[in-house]
A and B are shown apart, each in its own frame.
Chain A
Amino acid sequence: MRTKTKMMTVIFMGSTPATHADTISGYSDNEISAILLGLLMGMVVFILLLLSLWLYRLVTRLRSETRERDPDFQNWCEQQLTGLDQAEIDHLIARHDIRQKKTGGKSKFILLMIVIITTTKAHAQITPADAGLMKSPGMIIMLTLILIPLLLALWLTGIKISRIIARAQYRRIKKDISDLTNTAFADPEFYRKLIERKAALDFRLADSELRGREPVADTRGMLHNVSEVHSPRFLSSKRKALLPHELPPGTVKLILWYLASATVWLIIGTSIGEYLGIKFVSPDADHISWLSFGRLRPVHTNMVFWGWSSLAMIGLGYYVVPKVGNSHIFNLRIAYWSLIAINTAIICGTVSLMAGINNGGGEYREYTWPVMSLFTAGILLSLYNYFQTIGSRSTKEIYISNWYIVSAMMFIAIIAIVGYVPWWQNGLGETIVQGYYMHQAVGMWFMLFNLGLIYYFLPQQLNTPIYSYSLGILAFWAQILFYTLIGTHHFLFSSIPWWLQTIAIVGSVGMLIPVFAGTTNFLMTMRGNFNKIGRSYTLPFYLVGILFYFTGSTQGTAEAFRETNLVWHFTDFTTAHSHLTMYGIIAFLLWASIYTLVPRLTGKEPAQHWVGAHFWLALLGLLFYTIPLMIGGTLRGMAWQTGRPFIESVTLMAPYWLWRAIGGTLMWLSHLIFCWNMYSMTLRKTESEIRRKVLDAIDDSINITTAI
């Protein structure tokens, strides 16, 4: 131990300013990586161009669908006659004496088309301008990441146009048919030809030999809630959740308590976040000490961290951990104590932060040690519970979900201890520990635990095994190896030893391995099942979570390079990044899991349009929140480099802060909807429940009368 410390000292002493300069020049000359990344970006741009071509083709098709037809009507009718099949001719003849009204209206589509074309054009213009902007690898990665959602947007536009084409086609054919019907009525010559043609086509067998004569009956109870809709559906109907699981009612209740607490913290925590966002636009919203920005900011972050995300994770863990080991929760009482400890910690922490008592200002480390001890105690209780549950499993192997989940629980305990024990916290020691603490809490707790949940819920929801178990194992060990190193990348160019900063950057690049492995694994698991997404209300959440897992994590790598850090560090770009990850990845994956699990626990489903509203508001809100902050943050960092007065960089941010508040409002609304959905999945009485109650009441009255 002693020798090791000495060795570190030597390394530390070696880091003089001279070596700094060398390291930097070696770094910025890294042309090869720039070229490779340039190629990557070129590829994305190429795909963008391909997509644009596809869009162009679609638009031309749309135009041909809506074009006026041949002016020579007689000739046109003759042509149509040979194209019609038997059934169609039958139809025409049957309608012979019925007049049809003509329908019109194309202007709406043309207008929509113009809107779509102009927006796609606008998209296409942005790309080449950006391409030549910066050569540094991080910037290129960043731009590529921004382009990926753009690709998605183009693709979605394409699908929309295809649908419009389908509708236009339908209208055209409808008009043709109605014209033909009219002609058949008005022109006896044409009618005669029609009859002739029908006689020619009619020559065939009767086709009734194979027809069954028995009435249809569902003897196995395969059909549920058959509903007939006689008006056009505004929303397509999604697949219902499977039948409820047979879990002990105690377990169900426990999990629901965890999820309900999490939901409460989500609502309060994001309401505070929303208010903080408003304060950037209106700093004089209030002059109350308990509601001032500096005090509320840590209340928001800690509440959504330790309250919402952590409790939701642990609650879901109480389902997954026994499930994948085919056993039962070791001890329900311990689980409740854990819940109580964590909830109490959040309440105490919130009140003390608002009263102006905090630990000294390190991010996510604002709760004082008594509060955090209570939280850690809660974690340790649940950890013990999980561990014993796994010990009593009836499978031989430990499913990979449990690796991730239990490791996350162990690691957060270590992280809290390292972050709060005073022996190595004086002077810069505090900052080194802070870098470690704040980043491990994010990556080794939230991310690791969520990966564990997804390794269970995603295959379960898709009804298919995980693509590669070994890829999951690789990602697991690689995540521990690289993630542990990257904490100090929050303090690049600070007085922390230069070698430690370099290690953090290397670790950040290494993180690409587990991220790529994880993303590949999830996407390959989804492969062949993408058609299920449109029919499910949970899978879109998974897809968005996985997409942001890739883009958000890679963005973290991009931010860690020294050259990009120059621009983005200390700006709102970091805020955008943390929301992209904590919200885009963690919250979306948690919602995915909750919407998967809760209906199966309670047998009650949320209204699918409310789930849809939650999804779209959260996603759009997140984009409105993050993209302006990324743009504003970049501009701000650049403004600082020009040496202009600082206040100019504050006024520069004003519009971006406004957009952030707008995006934040959408996100916040989506949480209210989520809260309502939670209510309808749990407490709200469904019709079948009431029906059962009525039946029970009737039974009772029968029993009473028979007893009398």
Chain B
Amino acid sequence: MEIYSNHKKLFILALGFFGTLTLFVAILPAMNNQQSVNILPGAKPLTPLQIEGKAVFIGEGCVACHTQQVRNLEMDKVWGNRPSIAADYAVINRTDIWRNTATLMGSERTGPDLTSIGSRQPSTDWHLLHLYNPRSVVKESVMPSYEWLFLNKEYPFPEETLVNVPEEFKSGSGKIVASHRALALVAYLQSLQQVKLPDGRPVPVFLYGKQASNASLLTGAKLSEKSQFDGEALYSSNCSSCHQPNGEGLVGAFPPLKGSKIVLNPDPNVQITIIMKGYNGRESEGYSAMPAVGTNNNLKPEEVAAIINHERSSWGNDSKQVSVEEVKKVISALK
């Protein structure tokens, strides 16, 4: 054939073929998305501090291990209330002249998804401690330490944010102070929350609900009703990053549940209220405010009961178990 002996024609043909396909699978869909998808009415643009924080997030390459997308899969339910939709990302535009748009959706989940980390873990103190050395709060973590976002000062100014790092993780003799960049990064992380869809708009569904249980049967783990309300696992997912798996908390940051008066109280009213509403009564002792974990993470009454019963029967605690009905009653009273 003539075309195989004419290099100009041959290469123009190949280029045209590739170019046309490129146009239809990449450029046009991208432009279409850019033009046709609107920002959700509830979406808030980032504040200047949060924008700085996002720049730190991008610069440190956090996206290598953390995704920011809730797929429409049952298994992704732990990362958000609903699957992410195109409109969630519509608010994100080009970073600056040097840097491209950063939707930060990611392609590897070595660490947890961060789509709604702001509601899952709103505590500044926790984030700072975790950034200084992740293993100080989560023993098994393989995340890098971001020590260079902190300063080591003998005499910090009163307005500076101190981080109460346990001795074994601390380097240097002075006090650990969060830099502006660290605070900005935390502000950005706290801003990561899912926007509620406007009323009347259909919420996308999570798929493969049944498949998930099939898969778990194959691995040999029995996903029964019981394990869904496995207090230990729920505690590990929702509570242990602050209160620690051994229930002892972290000195000067997060109070212990082991031997806690509130946990040992036979009347679960206060305990349930704190889980659902949060608590800041011990800030004067140096303990951080507790976020409303139950509300933020949409815990069901059954789940709250399982967590409470785990706390009441572990680490030497031996207190009266609560029933789901009791929990339901207290929660409805709170509303």
Q: Quick one: closest A residue to B146, CB to CB?
A: A292
Measured CB to CB, the nearest residue on chain A to B83 is A495
B45 within 8 A of A: no
Which residues of A are found within 8 Å of B64, using beta-carbon distances?
293-294, 297-298
Over the window 35-69 of chain B, the binary record of Cβ atoms lying under 8 Å from chain A Cβ atoms (1 yes, 0 no) is 01100000000000000000000111111110101
Known: A287-B144, A433-B30, A494-B105. 14 other contacts (CB 8 A): A20-B205, A21-B207, A283-B134, A293-B65, A366-B61, A368-B99, A391-B7, A411-B18, A429-B34, A484-B21, A492-B71, A503-B25, A641-B216, A645-B233
> Which of chain A's residues has its CB closest to B78's CB?
A643
Number of A-B contacts (CB under 8 A): 317
Q: Which of B9-17, B158-166, B291-299, B304-312 contacts A (4 or more CB under 8 A)?
A: B9-17
Minimum C-beta distance from A404 to chain B (A): 10
Known interface pairs A407-B11, A432-B30; A133-B218 also in contact (CB < 8 Å):
yes
A selection of 12 A-B contacts at a CB cut-off of 8 Å is A283-B135, A359-B100, A361-B102, A410-B14, A428-B30, A428-B89, A430-B101, A484-B21, A491-B69, A491-B105, A642-B212, A643-B78
4 tightest A-B CB contacts, nearest first: A294-B61, A356-B59, A570-B109, A493-B71
What size tier do the contact residues of chain B reach?
35 or more
Chain B interfacial positions (CB closer than 8 Å to A)? 4-5, 7, 10-11, 14-15, 17-19, 21-22, 25-34, 36-37, 58-65, 67, 69, 71-78, 83-86, 88-95, 98-112, 133-135, 138, 140-148, 171, 202, 204-205, 207-208, 211-212, 215-216, 218-219, 221, 223, 227-228, 233, 236-237
Point out which of A20, A418, A430, A487 has the most chain B C-beta atoms below 10 A from its C-beta. Answer: A430
Q: Which residues of B contact A643 (CB under 8 A)?
A: 75, 77-78, 212, 223, 228
Residues of B within 8 A of A24 (CB): 207-208
Q: How far is the CA of A279 from the CA of B215 in the complex (A)?
A: 31
Q: Is the CB of A397 closer than 8 A to any CB of chain B?
A: yes
- A358 interface residue, CB < 8 Å from B? yes
Q: Which residues of A contact B237 (CB under 8 A)?
A: 645-646
- Closest-CB distance, B219 to chain A (whole angstroms): 5
Chain A residues with CB under 8 Å of B233's CB are 644-645
Question: Among B19, B27, B207, B219, which residue has its beta carbon within 8 angstroms of that of A642?
Answer: B219
Chain A interface helix/strand/loop/mixed? helix
Q: Is A431 an interface residue (CB 8 A)?
A: yes
Q: Are A566 and B5 in contact (CB under 8 A)?
A: no
Partner of A641, one of B75, B90, B133: B75
Q: Which residue of B lies closest to A368 (CB)?
A: B98
Among B60, B142, B208: residue with most chain A CB under 10 A: B142
A104 touches B (CB below 8 Å): no
In the bound complex, what is the Cα–Cα distance between A391 and B78 (angstroms)?
59
In A387-404, the 8 Å CB interface with B consists of 387, 390-391, 393, 396-398, 402-403
Contact B5 A647, beta carbon cutoff 8 Å: no
- With A431-B89, A570-B107 as contacts: A420 and B60 at CB distance below 8 Å: no
Q: How far is the CA of A18 from the CA of B110 in the complex (A)?
A: 32
Contact A485 B21 (CB under 8 A): yes
Nearest-neighbour CB distance to chain B for A675, whole angstroms, equals: 28
A427 interface residue per 8 A CB criterion: yes
A635 to B62 CA separation, bound complex (whole angstroms): 24
User: Which of A5-13, A92-100, A700-708 lies at the binding interface?
Assistant: A5-13
Question: In the complex where A5-B32, A414-B18, A431-B89 touch, is A284 in contact with B135 (Cβ < 8 A)?
Answer: yes
